[in-house]
Amino acid sequence: MKEKLIAIIAEYLGKDASEIEADATFEDLGLDSLDIAELVMQIEDELSVTIELNAELNNIDKLVEYIENQG
């Protein structure tokens, strides 16, 4: 799951997956709220999950935990 999210975000940012730290905040990765909305739509489509945006979901680790808790 984490690798998949990192891959999606790396592709979005045009970076290599190795450059993406899972505990860096989205803001530190250079993603603003419009980017996050865009990415979340993409992640929802690719992983068939539903994500409610909220300010606490601010890095990849937390997003992984959120998605896994949804079962």
Residues 36-55 that bind another protein (CB under 8 A): 37-38, 40-41, 52-54
* Active-site option among 16, 23, 28, 32: 32
Residue 39 CB, shortest distance to another protein, in Å, is: 9
Active site residue 32: yes
Separation between Cα atoms, residue 27 and residue 33, nearest integer Å: 9
Selected from 11, 19, 21, 32, the binder of another protein by CB under 8 A is 32
